[in-house]
Structure 1
């Protein structure tokens, strides 16, 4: 059973969603604002497997809460937003969210998205554990330990970023389209949002590239997708 932290200031919606998610097999803790959510996670020690985070919150908004979570750990975050504006979506994804859902959302749809994100946070498979440490320029990728280093210093990646990097290192030199990455990393088909890929690539570049604005490892292939190369 997964434990979800639902951060939603609309008490009626929070009750509806939490009850539905419990009926679908999750345990749910509800908080009404961002400060309370952070206190629950880091002062009260709630061991949440995933955070469902409303964007429009009193006090600090969901974007800032997500950034603070991401600065502390790799707990998966799904943004719940009534705003489907591309700027808002990209802002949330670039802040470290693993996915976003536009409200209103059916509980079973939300449950499916939660399960998909949680699957990406699972430990490496036996096949992955047997893979040797890979060196790409200053980057070291140890799949057995799920550890990535850059010039000898450990780089802290979220589960999604780690799976994205593994996908690129498994296919060095090959162009991977956004649709392919959505299928392999996010487990999404044709309904997936390519902005997830672009935002995750931008976050990954910021952590592994000497100059993220001029990437040497993870390159854009205009009109096609991305590929990772050895410098």
Structure 2
């Protein structure tokens, strides 16, 4: 029966499957930086789907990728920076799939957005990072550019003010983030989700009427946030 290697260094090179077999995983020879970065991103994303996030360690990632653990600080600086890069990759991939339709916010588009596995994983990682006291690395300028694009798309379909469009798109994104982190606690059925999206689209259609009775707070007012 195979036994686990006695050499600690050899044990560290085993995969989770290899641990059971006692077979050291062969590390790759020299890997170009761009290839190593992509390999680390893909491996981290896969492990984050499979394991609790506190178990996705540098040693675990490197072992699964067949790389030396020093590859992570060499290419990303730290595990924190790697997680930030993972969140950006997941967000950009999800936005590429759904971004063009977010402004319209049809029930179908919203449901696809809210249940997108990449966006859900991104939001769970961000929530975990916040809980661990880490900086999330969310870039304010990049976020502002994304929101501007969404707002422009939204206003091309519905005659609303900049302020209303800005706030509505934030409501949509906050809902998707909350659903990703806490959705399992509410035991919603598929029918519940679809009806909720239909309700949201009806509320959206009423924004031009409703906002005429709202006095918006000036974002530049002391104590106000924009």
- Structure 1 length-normalised TM: 0.28
Name whichever structure is richer in helix by fraction. Answer: 2
Structure number with the bigger relative contact order (C-alpha 8 A, sep ≥ 6) is 2
TM-score (structure 2 length as normaliser): 0.29
> Which has the higher Rg, Structure 1 or Structure 2?
2
Q: Which structure features the higher share of strand residues?
A: 1
